[in-house]
Amino acid sequence: MKKIEDLNKGDLIKADLYSRPNYMVGNYKNGQIVGLNNLEEVKSSDVFFLETLKVRADSADKIFAEAEAQGKDLSDPNVLKKLGEEINNLGTPVHQSQSIMTAVFVSLRLMAYYGIAIGIWGLVLKKGFFVFVFYGVVAGFLISLLSVAPVVAFQRTRERIRNMVFGAGLLWGNLGIVIGVGGLIALIIRIIFLGK
């Protein structure tokens, strides 16, 4: 048997979750709370996901306590199912690898946007298209590195990741598109009026 000093952080979080009264009486499982209803399948090495589940368990315990204070019977499966739906609506927990991969894909997309947009300006200025594409990719990489990737990579629910990706696309993606469209307009004007 392991001593508490020998447990890693993931084991400690799992021990905390297993020791909660709502876990022991089966409220997490009967309420079908995502992540908490199959806790034994979660590896102790996945500390990020376990920390997310701990926050979810805190929320679930609070919602269960409020329901009991209102006189709801937690032994009723229908009540538990409704409370479980309410808890699950708080967000679907994700593993850190999912949020990191999403951050990588968002970063690659921004790099492509800025590479193409600034590359068009290379054509407008009659400079090397690929040199400007490289500058645009570097600009997209820096934007991603400094503002987008760190924010997306540390989100703990699928809904928050979706919101952050939408926000990044709205702010930085649209800016890249505006730069590209401005370049296309300038290129068309140059071709029509200057004939080159």
DSSP H helical segments within the chain, as ranges? Answer: 9-18, 21-24, 27-30, 47-69, 77-88, 96-124, 129-143, 149-153, 158-168, 174-194
Asked which of 88, 115, 139 is the last residue of a domain, the reply is 88
Q: What is the pLDDT of residue 5?
A: 65
Structure tokens at 83: 């409370």
Q: What is the pLDDT of residue 34?
A: 85
Q: Is 187 domain-assigned?
A: yes
**Residues of the domain holding 134:** 96-194
Asked which of 70, 88, 106 is the last residue of a domain, the reply is 88
User: For the chain, what is the domain count?
Assistant: 2
Same domain, 67 and 47: yes
Contacts of 143 (CB under 8 A, 6+ apart): 110, 114, 172
Same domain, 72 and 119: no
Q: What is the pLDDT of residues 109-167, one digit of tens each?
A: 999 999 999 999 999 999 889 999 999 999 999 999 999 999 999 998 999 999 999 99
Q: What is the pLDDT of residue 114?
A: 97
Integer angstrom CA distances of residue 9 from 29, 53, 68, 96:
23, 13, 31, 16
Same domain, 131 and 173: yes
Q: Is 2 domain-assigned?
A: no
Same domain, 83 and 102: no
Q: What is the pLDDT of residues 34-44, one digit of tens each?
A: 888 888 888 88
Q: What is the pLDDT of residue 73?
A: 87
